[in-house]
Amino acid sequence: MPNTRLSRDGRDDARLVKRCREGDAGAFECLVRKYQDPVYGIAYRMVGDREEAKDLAQETFINAFEGIDTFNSRMPFRAWLYRIGANASIDHLRRRGRVRDIPVEVAAAAGDSYGNQGEYGVVIELPGPETDIPENVSVTNETSGLVWDALEQLPDHYRVAIVLHHMEGVSYAEIGRVLGVPRNTAKTWGHRARGLLCEALEGVV
């Protein structure tokens, strides 16, 4: 029975989960379609490689399907799914020895590209060699690389907090559910992570 304390969106998810448990594959497909972007996004921001992120997103959904009977419907499905995704990324990084790739657009922004359209339609406007280079643009490009380097050095749970809050727009209360800690702990991790990232920018900004 759907929990009335869940948001409307959460109750919709709970209904889909109920149908999944009854063997309705179409209901699970609805959930995959709904959450494919954030689940893939979390994996990509954690590991920095599109192919690996795709594999991790697949692994996340498959694990979710296989464990759907263990899902507690009082918890938002989204948080449960993100937890599976975050854990998959963390495990993957540990197996890989904590070496992360720098996402393509960050490498391009920090490197020698002269501007192109990214795979997802994000236009990276970098000036050509003969163009007058506005100072703020070059600082922004350098900053992107620095921020990613600094993100790589963060403890896993700090990095998850930053990715979820700043890139996926997840509240600290929900980050707490994802990471299995109280909201205030998640918030503290977010603050400490930003503090460390700001330290990395000292001397640049």
Partner 1 sequence: MMDSSCDRAVGAIDELGDGDLGRVKWLLLKRHARKCKECAGYLGRMETLIEALSEFGSVRAPEDLVDTVMAYLLSSVAPIEDHLVEVEHGRRNMFLVVGAAGLGVTAAVALAIVRWVLGRAPGAATDGDDGLAPIGTA
77 Cβ neighbours under 8 A, 6+ residues apart = 10, 13, 14, 16, 17, 31, 71
Rounded to the nearest whole angstrom, what is the least distance from the CB of residue 130 to partner 1 in the complex? 25
What DSSP designation does 70 have? G
H helices, E strands: number in the chain: 9, 2
Cβ atoms of 94 and 189 within 8 Å: the answer is no
The number of angstroms, rounded, from the C-alpha of 45 to the middle of its chain's C-alpha atoms is: 5
- Residue from 61, 80, 158, 189 in contact with partner 1 (CB under 8 A): 61
Say whether residue 133 binds partner 1 (CB under 8 A).
no
Residue range at the interface with partner 1 (CB under 8 A); choices 6-14, 74-82, 91-99, 135-143: 135-143
Say whether residue 1 binds partner 1 (CB under 8 A).
no
Binding interface with partner 1 (CB under 8 A): 23, 25, 28-29, 32-33, 36-41, 44-45, 50, 54, 57-58, 61-62, 65, 103, 105-106, 120, 122, 139-140, 143-144, 147, 162, 165-169, 172, 187, 190-191, 194, 197-198, 201-202, 205
